[in-house]
Amino acid sequence: MLLTRSSAAALRLSSAVLSGALIGLASASDNSSESSIQWDDADCPARLVEAIATFAAAGLAPLPIDCANLTVPLDYTQPDSNLTIDLQLARIPALKQPSRGSIIVHFGGPALYQTENLASLGEGLALLSGQGFDLVSWDQRGTGATIPLNCFETNEERELFTAFHSNIAVAPNDTVSFGRSWALNQRQAEICYNFAVDKPHDVVGTVDTVMDVLQIVDALGGDRKARFWGISYGTAVGATLAALYPERVERLLLDSVVNIHQWYSGEQWEMQHDSDKTLSGFFRTCFEKPELCSLAAANPNSTAGEVEERLYEKFDELRNRPLAFTNTTIPGAAILDDGQAKSLIRAFLYNPALYQILSQMIQFILADEVEGFARLVNALPAPEYGDSSLAITCSDNFLRTDDPADVVPIIEKSMELSRFLGDWATYTLLYCANWKLELKQRFVRGFNDPVVLSTPPLLAGTEHDVVTPLVSAVNASASFPGSSVLRFNTFGHGLVNQPSLCTAKAVREYFEDGVLPPTETVCEPAAHPWENTEWDPLFEKLGYERPSGGNGTASNDTAALEGGPERGARFRARF
């Protein structure tokens, strides 16, 4: 497969693949308006340097990026404490100078390496936002090298324990498997508690991350107001920032919106709302382009719906008779059951740039071609080990119970919404229900009371998103008076994954002038999702030129946008 800029970024994303109201909330710092950050391209951490070199070797040539460390309090509830941590920051300077200021970007996770995603996706973000802002991101506390929240001493210990999970997709009516899964998640939560209880586990929640955002805003200087672009879980960060500190928010773009109520309640059944529609859309568009989709080419006498139904039948087979395959990424034999198959397919539905790989994978699964499936899986980037994603998710939410029956109604709602992924949510729900590590600062304000900003937020999402359905953006907009929901009539998770002059116009006008598109505006992509997921064909209309060395430059010609809208381990991609 040809490795493109978007496919490489998507692979990295999928290999990892949401005041008085707080307990002990400390006040925001009162920093000077002068910037205190010393940016230097020589200060980037080794991991980021290696990632950039990998992108460059693949011909992707990321935009110039520089880095800095920012020292922040370890515990915001202890203002007299001198304990601190260093946040790793990265910045892509504005392509059009002088800079209009900074946009702080959170790519989701929670456990993604944010700075690496800035390097891989920065060009698309710059094109969407008008090229006039510095783009800044940071590796969130509790993840990466910043007090990571882990539950096992080594990767081997983690893999040995998780191997006991017979399946991560378990329906409550399968009482034997459901009971076993409850017991294993109960034990895993106990292991995590015992391992992390004497470590700084209680200062890594979303509220602590919001406090870090304020520290970054203050350190950047200027008017001490945030321009924030949250993607996926990053929308929970952005919404929480706005709810707690509305006066500190100048612009807020919530892109691929989680259900902000369910993020904290822990129920999260709404995330499956568009799962079936997204999978069906994958098959439909595949069969529209058989010359590009190997799955359609391999099934010339079948319809998209017929092959999709065969996949559901295969899920049933794999539940009862899993397949073993040799996995060289994680040593030892691996089991392909319906839960693992669903996890892989879900992860590759995040980005149309991965559809060609996904079509091969599904064909291998349908044909029981274990060796071909193993070759494909073993060629993928190694999965990110760690426990941060689930740990932060579970710490944030209030779902706790000693009785598994309390979780059953949530799973049943999820299963009512989705045949594809309804039972896939079981693992996370059972794990969080048993979670024992609690935070010092919890978000209890909620979003039932309106969050009023000086400039209402822009919310956006695609029509076919396997994890953050558009209905969640609509629901979240009800908490933000005057907000607008931008509908992107395409596939994938995040605006950056598909080029569009319409989305670029909307995002640029919002960040530059605070102008919101009419609510329910529908944008169309520049191309069919199987044909081109690159921004290159729009460079001229966007006034952008990428030199051969990769140091992107931009003109100030934005005339093209002035018209109306143009036409995890074991491969468990949990979030």
In this prediction, residue 347 has a pLDDT band, given cuts at 50, 70 and 90, of very high
In the structure encoding, which two tokens stand for residue 280, read together? 């069906």
- Contact between 325 and 333 under an 8 Å Cβ cutoff? The reply is yes
Which DSSP string do the residues of 37-49 spell out, in sequence order?
A: ---BGGG--HHHH
The answer to whether the beta carbons of residues 23 and 444 sit under 8 Å apart is yes
For 455-489, the pLDDT digits (tens) are: 999 999 999 999 999 999 999 999 999 999 999 99
Is the per-residue pLDDT at 18 higher than 60?
Answer: no
- pLDDT-derived band at 333, boundaries 50, 70, 90: low
Which pLDDT value is given to residue 28? 43
Mean pLDDT of the chain: 87
User: What is the rounded CA–CA span in Å between residue 269 and residue 61?
Assistant: 39
Q: pLDDT tens digit string along 382-413?
A: 666 578 999 999 999 999 999 999 999 999 99
Q: Which domains does the chain have, with CATH numbers?
A: 5-146+203-269+450-561 (3.40.50.1820)
Coil vs helix vs strand at 10: helix
Pick the range with the lowest mean pLDDT from 32-36, 101-105, 184-188.
32-36
- Does the pTM surpass 0.85? The reply is yes
Q: 562: which strand partners?
A: none
Contact predicate 85/147, CB 8 Å: yes
Residue 143 pLDDT grade (very low, low, confident, very high; cuts 50, 70, 90): very high
pLDDT of residue 556: 40
Q: pLDDT, tens digit, for every residue of 60-71?
A: 778 999 999 999
pLDDT for res 558: 36
| Closest-CA residue to 546 (of 123, 260, 162) | 123
What pLDDT band is residue 451 in, cutting at 50, 70 and 90? very high
**Residue 460: both structure tokens together:** 């956006």
- Burial of 541 (C-beta count, 10 Å sphere; 0-12/13-18/19+): middle
Query: What are the tens digits of pLDDT across the range 356-369?
Result: 999 999 999 999 99
Nearest Cα to 228, choosing from 147, 340, 112, 107? 107
Residue 62: the pLDDT is: 84
**Token duo for residue 375:** 């070759």
The per-residue pLDDT for 78 is 96
Confidence of residue 168 (pLDDT cuts 50, 70, 90): confident
pLDDT at 523: 98
Q: Is the dihedral of CA 117, 119, 124, 130 positive or negative?
A: positive
Is residue 559 pLDDT above 50, yes or no? no
Q: Is 362 helix (H, G, I), strand (E, B) or coil?
A: helix
Tens of pLDDT along 489-544? 999 999 999 999 999 999 999 999 999 999 889 999 999 999 988 899 999 999 99
pLDDT at 537: 93
In this predicted structure, what is the pLDDT of residue 380? 81
- Rounded to whole angstroms, the Cα distance separating 392 from 574 reads 13
Q: Which residues contact 320 (CB under 8 A, 6 or more apart)?
A: none
Q: Which residues contact 136 (CB under 8 A, 6 or more apart)?
A: 89, 90, 91, 102, 103, 104, 105, 118, 216, 220
| Least confident segment among 18-27, 261-270, 281-290, 371-380 | 18-27
- Pair of tokens at residue 183: 């017991």
The answer, yes or no, to whether residue 106 has pLDDT greater than 50, is yes
Q: Check residue 165 and give its pLDDT.
A: 63
- 254/235 Cα distance (integer angstroms): 5
Q: Which residue has the higher pLDDT, 562 or 396?
A: 396
Q: What is the pLDDT of residue 385?
A: 57
Q: What is the mean pLDDT of residues 231-260?
A: 98
Is there a contact between 55 and 246 (Cβ–Cβ < 8 Å)? no
Given this model, what pLDDT does residue 326 score?
83
Q: At what angle do helices 304-320 and 355-366 cross, to 10 degrees?
A: 60
Q: Which of 176-190, 325-339, 430-444 has the lowest mean pLDDT?
A: 325-339
Instruction: Return d(Cα 124, Cα 63) in angstroms, integer.
Output: 10
Judge whether residue 161 has pLDDT over 60: yes
Cα–Cα dist 121/350, whole Å: 14
**376 CB-near residues (< 8 Å, 6+ apart):** 357, 360, 361, 364
Question: For residue 164, what pLDDT is reported?
Answer: 63
Q: What is the pLDDT of residues 289-299, one digit of tens each?
A: 999 999 999 99
Q: What is the DSSP string of 186-250?
A: HHHHHHHHHHHTTTTGGG-SHHHHHHHHHHHHHHH-TTS-EEEEEEEHHHHHHHHHHHH-GGGEE
